C-alpha cells in the first residue's frame, strides 16, 4: 500500500462527520489508558498525519513522531513545529534502549507484515516503568463488517484483530469504543455517543476500536 498517495485523503477523513465522531471517542479512550504527563517523552509509532502527536504536544509532552510515509510526515509538520518527525520503520526504531516514557501505536499493527517485531522494538525503547498503548481495529465489529461489504481499498491489505488475537502480545488491560458505522445519520451518532461507555461494558469485545496496554 502506498501511504504517500493516501495521506491527504486520510487526513481529510478527520474533518468528516463520522471522522470527527470516531476521533473524539478513540482519543478519549487512548488518553485514559496512556495517562500522559507534562514533560514526558512520547513516541508515536506509525503517526500518520500527526493527530495524536499534536494532542500530546498541546499537553506539554516531548513528542517524537515516526512514520514510513514522507507525505504523512509533511502534513504532520504543518500542524505543529513542536513535534520531532522521523522517517523510519517500526521494525527498526532509531533510538537507544529505555528512551521513552510513553509509546503509542494507533492503527499501526494492522498494516505490518511483522507486528511481533515492531512490538519488540517498541518495548526495547520504552523505559522500564513506561506505558505501551496500541489502538487496533476490531475484526468483530459493525464497522469491520461494513468495510468488508464496501470493499474499502484503504483496508484491502489490512489485518483487523480481535482482542483474543491481541492477547498473544501480552495484554495488561484493554477496552473498546465506537459501536457505530459510517452510514449512520448524525442524530443516531449523537445517541450512541452517550451510550458508548455503557456499550463498552455490555458488549466490550465488539467495539470497532480496541485500546490495549501491552506488558513491558
What gap in Å lies between CA 94 and CA 132, rounded to an integer?
17
What pLDDT does 128 receive? Answer: 96
What gap in Å lies between CA 69 and CA 127, rounded to an integer?
26
What pLDDT does 190 receive? Answer: 85
Does residue 141 sit in helix, strand or coil? coil
What pLDDT does 127 receive? Answer: 98
- Higher-confidence residue of 31 and 143: namely 31
Does residue 92 sit in helix, strand or coil? coil
What pLDDT does 149 receive? Answer: 64
Which helix (H) or strand (E) element contains residue 65? strand 62-67
Q: Which domain covers residue 173, as residue numbers?
A: 3-214
What mean pLDDT value characterizes the chain?
94
pLDDT, tens digit (0-9, with 9 covering 90-100), for 70-100: 999 999 999 998 999 999 999 999 999 999 9
What pLDDT does 70 receive? Answer: 98
pLDDT, tens digit (0-9, with 9 covering 90-100), for 136-184: 999 999 888 887 767 776 777 899 999 999 999 999 999 999 998 888 8
| 16-25, 67-76, 77-86, 184-193: the lowest-pLDDT one | 184-193
31 pLDDT above the threshold of 70:
yes
- Higher-confidence residue of 1 and 107: namely 107
The CA R_g of the chain, rounded to the nearest whole Å, is 16
Kindly report the CATH number assigned to the domain that includes residue 189.
3.40.50.150
* Residue 62 · residue 43 · CB < 8 Å: no
Q: Report the number of distinct structural domains present in the chain.
A: 1
What pLDDT does 96 receive? Answer: 98
**Predicted TM-score of the model (pTM):** 0.94
Please give the share of the chain, as a percent, with pLDDT higher than 70: 99
- 158 sits in the region (left: phi over 0; alpha: psi -120 to 50; else beta) called beta
What pLDDT does 1 receive? Answer: 75
What pLDDT does 181 receive? Answer: 82
Amino acid at each position: 500500500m502506498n501511504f504517500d498517495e493516501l495521506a491527504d485523503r486520510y487526513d481529510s477523513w478527520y474533518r468528516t462527520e463520522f471522522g470527527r465522531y470516531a476521533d473524539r471517542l478513540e482519543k478519549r479512550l487512548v488518553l485514559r489508558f496512556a495517562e500522559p504527563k507534562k514533560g514526558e517523552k512520547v513516541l508515536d509509532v506509525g503517526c500518520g498525519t500527526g493527530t495524536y502527536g499534536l494532542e500530546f504536544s498541546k499537553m506539554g509532552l516531548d513528542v517524537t513522531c515516526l512514520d514510513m510515509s514522507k507525505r504523512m510526515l509533511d502534513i504532520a509538520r504543518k500542524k505543529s513545529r513542536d513535534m520531532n518527525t522521523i522517517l523510519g520503520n517500526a521494525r527498526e526504531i532509531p533510538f537507544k534502549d529505555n528512551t521513552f516514557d510513553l509509546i503509542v501505536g494507533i492503527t499501526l499493527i494492522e498494516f505490518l507484515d511483522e507486528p511481533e517485531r515492531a512490538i519488540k522494538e517498541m518495548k526495547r525503547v520504552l523505559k522500564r516503568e513506561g506505558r505501551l498503548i496500541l489502538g487496533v481495529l476490531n475484526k468483530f465489529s459493525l464497522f469491520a463488517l461494513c468495510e468488508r461489504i464496501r470493499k474499502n481499498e484503504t483496508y484491502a491489505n489490512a489485518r483487523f484483530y480481535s482482542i483474543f488475537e491481541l492477547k498473544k502480545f501480552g495484554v495488561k488491560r484493554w477496552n473498546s469504543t465506537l459501536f457505530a458505522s459510517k452510514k449512520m445519520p448524525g442524530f443516531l451518532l449523537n445517541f450512541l455517543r452517550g451510550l458508548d461507555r455503557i456499550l463498552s461494558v455490555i458488549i466490550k469485545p465488539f467495539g470497532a476500536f480496541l485500546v490495549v496496554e501491552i506488558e513491558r
